[in-house]
Chains A and B, each alone.
Chain A
C-alpha cells in the first residue's frame, strides 16, 4: 500500500563551524492515510529535523522521503514549493502568521497560490475562518489576536487548500491549557474529515490523542506505541485508606 508519508533510512548531519551534529541517524517511518501520528522525544532528539525533512523544507544527508509514493528528497526547491501548496499544511509553535497581512489575507494566501480566483479564494477563506471560530476577526492584524486565536487562524491557513497532510511543530507549545485543548479538538476534527495528521509535540496530552506515538531519542526511533480507542473509566474513589 502506498503510505502518505514514508521515510527510509533518513539521516541528517549539520556542520556547524567545525563540529558535526548528527541530528538524525537513520529513521524509518511510515504514515498511513488518515492516521494521527505523534512524535515525541526530548529536545535534541531530532524531532523538528525529522518534520522539516518530511515536509521537504530541508534535504536529508542520507535516506529517502516519499510523499504519496513519490520521492521528494531530490526535488528542486521550486518543485517542492509547488508540492507543498497542494499537499501539505503546516502549523507552527509560534503561529508564524505574516504580520503584514490581515487574518483573511493570511488564509487566502495558499488558495491564491494554487491558482484559485480571488473571489473564490476569499469566499473559501471566510468560510474556513468561521468554521474555526475566528470568522469575526478576519479584517484584523494577526498581532492583535490572542495565542489561541492566532493558532486557529494558522490552522485555517494550513487547511485552506484541503491538503492531504497536516504537519504540526509543537502546535500547542505556546498556548495555555484551555487554548491547547481547543486547538487539539480542531486538529482532531480535521483528522475526522480525512486529513492525515503528523504532530511533533512534548505535550503528552496531544500525543495521547494520536493513534500512534513514536518516540525519538538521539536521532533514532527508540519507541513506537499504538494506542487503542478510549477505554471506559470507572470513577470509584480509590484511596489508600480503607473506610
Chain B
C-alpha cells in the first residue's frame, strides 16, 4: 500500500501545480525566516571571537574610580596578564546632540584589550582614534575634526578601531575613542574626574564570572568576556526578534493556506477519493496520502528556504558586525536545517489533518454515485448573515463564501495577519519618524528595510493565496454560475458577487488586523527592551489606510478570477459535471 500511496501522492503534486507551487512558496518563506532568525545571531559569534582574539581581549574588564583600586584588582589571584590601568574621561561631542564620548588616554600600545585598528593610525596617535560604529553613527570619517563641547579642543580623526568590549553605538553609550595620555590631560585636566580601567586576563577564563563576583560590590562597572560577547550579539536582537515574529506569522499563514488548498483538493476529488475507499483504502491511509504529498512539498520548501536564508543572513547581520572583525560569513549548519524543517513539516501536516478530517469520512458509494460532496449544513454565522439586507450580488457572494466556512475563516485569518504585519511596519515607521532629527536611535536603518521586505513577501503570498482560492471557488461553482446566468444575473453581477464577498472579508479582517498589529508591536518593543514611555504607535490616519487598502487590494487581486467567472458560458455550464 505504501508504494501506491507514494505514487498517488506524486501524481497529485504534478496535477496541481498552482496549489503545489503556492504551498512551496509560502513554506519556503517561513523556512527562510526561521533560518534567518537563527543565523543572524550565529553570524555574530565567530567574528566576535576573532575580534576578541585580535584584541587579546580582557577576560574581566573593570571600570573604577581610582587608580589604586584598579591596581588592586589587577593584582588579585587568578590574574594571568594585566596592563597598566588606563585613565579615561567623559566628554560631549559638540554637535548639538548629547553624544557622550569616553576618551581613553594611552601612553603606549596596550597588551590586553587593545583596540583593533580598522582604518588609519592605531592608538595612541596624535589626534583621536574613534570606535568605528561611533564614527558611522555620527558620520565622522578619517580626516574629519572632532570637537568637544565646552572645551576649545579640536581633535583630528586619524583612525578608526574596534574593541570586543564595545557594542555598537548608539545601542551602547557612551561611544569610545582613544587619545594619547597627554591629550587626555588637556581634555580633562581634573584628575578626580578620571575613571580607571583594569583589563585582566585570567589563568582560567571560565572562572571570569566567579572572579567578577568576588570583587567588592560598588567598585565600579565590571564586565566578564561573556558579558562582552552577549552585549555584542545583542545587536542582532532586534532583527532576530522581528524575524521570529514574522516566522510565527508565516507559519500560521502556512497552516491556513495548506488547510485551504488541501481541503479544496479533497472536495474536488470527492469521487476519486470515494473510488479509493471502494478499492480498500481507509480514511487514515487517504489522509496519509495527502500528508506525504504535503511533506514532500515541505521538504523542498525547507531546502529552498534554507538556501535563501543562508544567503541573506550575512546581509542582515552586517550592521551588527560593524563592531566586529571580518565580514560576517554565513554559518549554516545541519541543525538549522532541522530547526527550519521541523516546524514547517509539523504545520503542514497539521493543516492536512485539519482539512481532510471531513473529507475522508463519508460513504464511498455515495461519493461515487453523486460525485460531489454534500454541502455543509448552514452555520449559525451564515444564517445570521443571511438576515442582513445586502445588495443581491453581494449577498450571493457572501453566502457562497460562508458555505465553506472554514475556508473563509482561514482566508480572513491570512489577510488579518498580513494586515497586522503592515500595521507593525507602520508603527515602526512612526517610531522612526518621531525621533528628533540628527539623533541616532535604537532602531537602525536596516530594520525598517527588513520589515518592509518581509511585509512585501507576506503581501505577495496573500495575494497569490487569494487568487488561488478564488480560482478554486470559481471552478467549484461553474455550474451554479451558469444557472444564475440563466435566471438572469448579468456577468457583472456574477463578478461583483465574488469580488464583493472577498472584499467584505478583507474589511473585517483589516479591522481585526489593527489591534492585532498594534499589540504585536507593543510586545516586540517590550521584549526588545524598549522604554514604554518612548513607545510610538502608528497614527490613526496611517492606520486608516489598512481598512481602506485591504478591501481595495483584495478586490484588485480577485478581479481576474472574477472576470473568468463572469465569462462562463451559461449554455455549457449548466450541464457541467
Contacts and interface: CB of A to CB of B under 8 A. Distances in A.
A185 interface: no
Contacts of A113: 392, 487-489
Interface in B315-372: none
Given A52-B571, A99-B480, A100-B399, A141 B377 contact: yes
Contacts of B392: 112-113
Contacts of A105: 386, 399
Q: Majority SS of interface residues in chain B? A: helix
A230 to B, nearest CB: 33
Interface in B212-244: none
B483 A55 contact: no
Contact of A81 (B400, B403, B490): B490
Nearest to B389: A118
Contacts of A141: 375, 377-378
A109 B479 CA distance: 16
A84 B378 contact: no
B485 interface: yes
A114 B488 contact: yes
A110 B485 CA distance: 11
A110 B487 contact: yes
B488 A157 contact: no
Interface residues of B, number: 28
B440 to A, nearest CB: 58
Contact of A98 (B377, B484, B488, B575): B484
A101 to B, nearest CB: 6
A55 B491 contact: no
Contacts of A81: 485, 488-491, 493
B75 interface: no
Interface string B390-405: 0010000001100100
Nearest to B491: A77
A71 B530 CA distance: 74
A96 interface: yes
B186 interface: no
B574 interface: yes
B492 A143 contact: no
Contacts of B399: 100-101, 105
Interface string A82-114: 111110001010001111111001000110111
A96 B237 CA distance: 60
A122 B392 CA distance: 14
Interface in A44-84: 48, 52, 55, 57-58, 77-78, 81-84
Given A52-B571, A57-B570, A141-B378, A109 B487 contact: yes
Given A98-B480, A100-B399, A100-B403, A85 B487 contact: yes
Contacts, number: 73
Nearest to A154: B483
Contacts of A90: 486-487
B484 A84 contact: no
A57 B488 CA distance: 10
Nearest to A89: B487
Interface in B533-577: 569-571, 574-575
Nearest to A142: B375
B573 to A, nearest CB: 9
* Residue with the greatest number of chain A CB neighbours at <10 A, chosen from B479, B485, B489, B571: B571
A141 B399 CA distance: 13
B480 A84 contact: no
Interface in A109-144: 109-110, 112-114, 118, 141, 143
Contacts of B492: 78
B475 to A, nearest CB: 15
A63 B570 CA distance: 20
Nearest to A97: B483
Nearest to A90: B486
Contact of B488 (A52, A84, A97): A84
A83 B571 CA distance: 16
B374 interface: yes
Contacts of B389: 118
Interface string A199-215: 00000000000000000
Contacts of A98: 480, 483-484
* Residue with the greatest number of chain A CB neighbours at <10 A, chosen from B399, B487, B569: B487
Interface string B464-498: 00000000000000011001111111111100000
Interface in B44-66: none
B374 A143 contact: yes
A112 B488 CA distance: 11
Contacts of A77: 485, 490-491
Nearest to A163: B488
Given A100-B375, A141-B375, A58 B571 contact: yes
Nearest to B577: A94
A5 B347 CA distance: 60
B486 to A, nearest CB: 5
Given A58-B569, A100-B375, A118-B389, A84 B483 contact: no
Given A78-B490, A81-B490, A84-B488, 4 more contacts: A77-B491, A96-B486, A100-B375, A102-B378
9 contacts: A52-B571, A58-B569, A78-B491, A82-B490, A84-B488, A85-B488, A100-B400, A113-B392, A141-B378
Interface of A: 48, 52, 55, 57-58, 77-78, 81-86, 90, 92, 96-102, 105, 109-110, 112-114, 118, 141, 143, 157
> Which 8 residue pairs across A and B have the least CB separation, nearest first?
A85-B488, A52-B571, A58-B571, A78-B490, A81-B490, A57-B571, A100-B403, A96-B483
